[in-house]
Amino acid sequence: MGCLQPAALIFFLVLLLPSSSSLPLCTNSRAPVTLKAPLTFCPYSASSCCNATEDAAIQKQFNSMNITHSSCGSLVKSILCTKCDPYSADLFTIGPNIGIVPVLCNSTSSLSPAQDKKDATGDFCSQVWNTCKDVSILNSPFAASLKGSAVVPASSSRLTDLWQSETDFCKAFGGSANTESVCFNGQSVSFNDSTDITPPKGICFEKLGNGSYLSMVPHPDGSNRIFLANQAGKIWLATVPPQGSRGTLDFDESNPFLDITDIVDSDTELGLMNIAFHPNFTNNGRFFASFNCDKVQTVSCSGRCSCNSEVGCDPSKLGLSNGAQPCQYQSVISEFTANSSSSSPSQATFAQPSEVRRIFTMGLPFSGHHAGQILFGPEDGYLYFMMGDGGSEGDPYNFAQNKKSLLGKIMRLDVNNIPSASEINRLDLWGNYSIPKDNPSADDNDLQSEIWALGVRNPWRCSFDAERPSYFFCGDVGQEKYEEVDLITKGGNYGWRVYEGPEVFQPAKSPGGNTSLNSINPIFPIMGYSHSSLNTKFGSASITGGYVYRSSADPCLYGRFMYADLYGEAVWTGIENPVNSGNFSSSMLPFDCAKNTPIACDHVQGSALPSLGLIYSFAEDNNKDIYVLASKGVYRVVSPSQCNYACPKEKLSANPSPPPSSPSCSRGKYEKLQMKLMLFLSCLIIFFGSF
């Protein structure tokens, strides 16, 4: 809003941010599995990070300790079994023996969100010390010195032999006062803090442009600039007006940042699908485009067919209609550079149209369901690539469940370490990238090395939560019954085509075979909607995934994940309840056009409701404002009061904004100064009112 200087604004925003947190994850970064039967030794019956074999191994480890003191034995058993807890990734974060002993709650460490600091169980570390300090424990998990270097004799197995005092013991295993991790209090982690799930009254949009775009990403330099891309293959560099300024998107449509329409094949489900800028773009100028090409029309469009003998598929038997050739259409990721067009990438206003290299090229068995989004992981810097099942009704060749096929998968690629041509051939890669060492294939040899997650049908728009990057959301398009939102985790199987959403799916034909229900541990959607439940004029088309709202413009939307139906009549927001639980509830919300919108919104015939057209994508800028990219234009979420939606959390300014007839560009110097002062005072009111 331009009301505080950058340093002050950053300080102000930091004060408003909640502490980070995580979703249920195991120590191997995978999601817990649903148990078909309760574990025998450890007390888990629903979901767990252990299977029966791992449970038996923990029991064997416990028995080898030969603990004769029952109370101490019970505590040690509970500690060993935390490896099976659905939140074990959070429990095992500090301490000298990471992966052996979890963080033990004590009076000086942070407590689990489920615990009250007055709860006696908060001093669980002292309880362990007092109960076990003089008990013999063979092969003790606590056998580590403060410096982690002492060698302890096998006969010395009491805590008092291993540690000088309770203080030293709990300093090592209990963490410090500023630790934000979940800690173990002797019981399975649970979250009792409830979240206000009362949905907002509605969502207010302002229209900033009339163009139709498929993708939008913020400029990596943190400025108020964005990149817009259309399906045909053009990318523009635009400036976003501040909230409340009544400005519109500012760019020259006749001068795109990049034009690759000559190599992009654009059709209903084909085109320039997405763009992604390298995390270090401001220094290296690297960026990437995901698009489709037609090998019949373009010589450079040449890649191996995704339907091949390696995945048990013969392209000649696909039975394509309309004269199309098998794998005629290709899914491509290409690298481009902005380095040579300016003295620095941040100052570049156009990029070189020639490709630096082809990162990935794969022929598609059919012309649909290839998704195509790319984005960089905010924590690991790897490139994530969303790929649909390849098309045709019901994924007849069962590509999504085939671990050797890249169709129906989310891939994770390392584009920072480009292998040699010989290495690419030796590793059987699809282009110029390498495989991250911690990809799921590292502990599942059956998985193709590029795969991060599997069992998706057509993931249409995914995003990482800006404040909790372990939350990776994807909207996955359904077949005919259910549209879903998934929380993506390492190695997760999201069920398609064994399941469509939460329901068992029966394919009409399956020349590629079937996957049995009992052979997979599917991760079911956290949100979504059935086609039959959507009572709108045009019904349901397909889901468009969105973002967790992290802007300050609408405080009642804060922390809610936004998604929509393609037909543009329905928008939902979902919120996690309780926080950190991985459980979400969602509500369909009404929406309207702001009374001060810079560009008038179209309206549904015979109604005051706005008509957005088809909702292609959501987007987020550097201010965390959320946008809707639709067939009728570009829309930004603004304060709810502009649509007369009541939001108790919104701090309304005592100074109303100027009328539309007085645009800021026509004011004199005095009026401009006066407006800046008013905005600054308004922000001060909001700032101090938040305490």
* Residue 328 domain-assigned (yes or no): yes
* 209 and 259 co-located in one domain: yes
* 302 and 428 co-located in one domain: yes
**Total domain count, the chain:** 2
* 169 and 240 co-located in one domain: no
Average pLDDT, stretch 295-306? Answer: 92
Q: Does an H or E element contain 664, and which? A: none
* 334 and 473 co-located in one domain: yes
CB atoms near residue 222 (< 10 Å): 12
Higher model confidence: residue 418 or residue 367?
418
* 321 and 434 co-located in one domain: yes
Judge whether 523 and 489 are in contact, CB under 8 Å. yes
Read off the pLDDT of residues 205-223 as tens digits, 9 standing for 90 and up.
999 999 999 999 999 999 9
C-alpha to C-alpha distance for 432 and 419, rounded to whole angstroms? 7
pLDDT score at 677: 42
Average pLDDT, stretch 366-391? Answer: 96
* Residue 682 domain-assigned (yes or no): no
Q: 494 CB contacts (<8 Å, ≥6 apart)? A: 453, 454, 455, 456, 476, 484, 486, 488, 522, 523, 525
pLDDT score at 691: 38
Average pLDDT, stretch 421-443? Answer: 95
pLDDT category of residue 123 using cuts at 50, 70 and 90 = confident
> Can you give the CATH number for the domain in which 350 is found?
2.120.10.30
Pick from 88-92, 286-290, 455-459, 477-481: least confident: 88-92
pLDDT score at 112: 44
* 462 and 571 co-located in one domain: yes
Q: Which residues of 473-485 are buried (b: 16+ CB within 10 A; e: fewer)?
A: bbbbbbbeebbbb
Judge whether 38 and 55 are in contact, CB under 8 Å. no
* Residue 300 domain-assigned (yes or no): yes
* Residue 195 domain-assigned (yes or no): no
* Residue 554 domain-assigned (yes or no): yes
* Residue 25 domain-assigned (yes or no): no
C-alpha to C-alpha distance for 594 and 477, rounded to whole angstroms? 30
Judge whether 50 and 39 are in contact, CB under 8 Å. yes
Residue 157's domain comprises: 32-173
pLDDT category of residue 640 using cuts at 50, 70 and 90 = very high
CB atoms near residue 524 (< 10 Å): 15
* 238 and 162 co-located in one domain: no
* 166 and 212 co-located in one domain: no
* Residue 24 domain-assigned (yes or no): no
* 217 and 78 co-located in one domain: no
* 116 and 212 co-located in one domain: no
3-state secondary structure of 288: strand
* 146 and 288 co-located in one domain: no
Judge whether 493 and 522 are in contact, CB under 8 Å. yes
* 125 and 271 co-located in one domain: no
Read off the pLDDT of residues 131-182 as tens digits, 9 standing for 90 and up.
999 999 998 998 864 434 344 555 558 999 888 899 888 888 886 544 455 7
Domain closes at, from 643, 662, 684: 643
Average pLDDT, stretch 608-631? Answer: 96
pLDDT category of residue 122 using cuts at 50, 70 and 90 = low
When computed from its CA atoms, the radius of gyration of the chain, rounded to whole angstroms, is 27
Higher model confidence: residue 537 or residue 295?
295
Residue 100 buriedness (CB in 10 A; 0-12 / 13-18 / 19+): middle
CB atoms near residue 506 (< 10 Å): 10
pLDDT score at 383: 98
Domain closes at, from 624, 643, 662: 643
CB atoms near residue 644 (< 10 Å): 12
User: Is residue 682's pLDDT more than 90?
Assistant: no
Average pLDDT, stretch 179-206? Answer: 82
* Residue 169 domain-assigned (yes or no): yes
433, two tokens: 């990238």
pTM of the predicted protein model: 0.86
C-alpha to C-alpha distance for 174 and 334, rounded to whole angstroms? 48
Domain closes at, from 600, 620, 643: 643
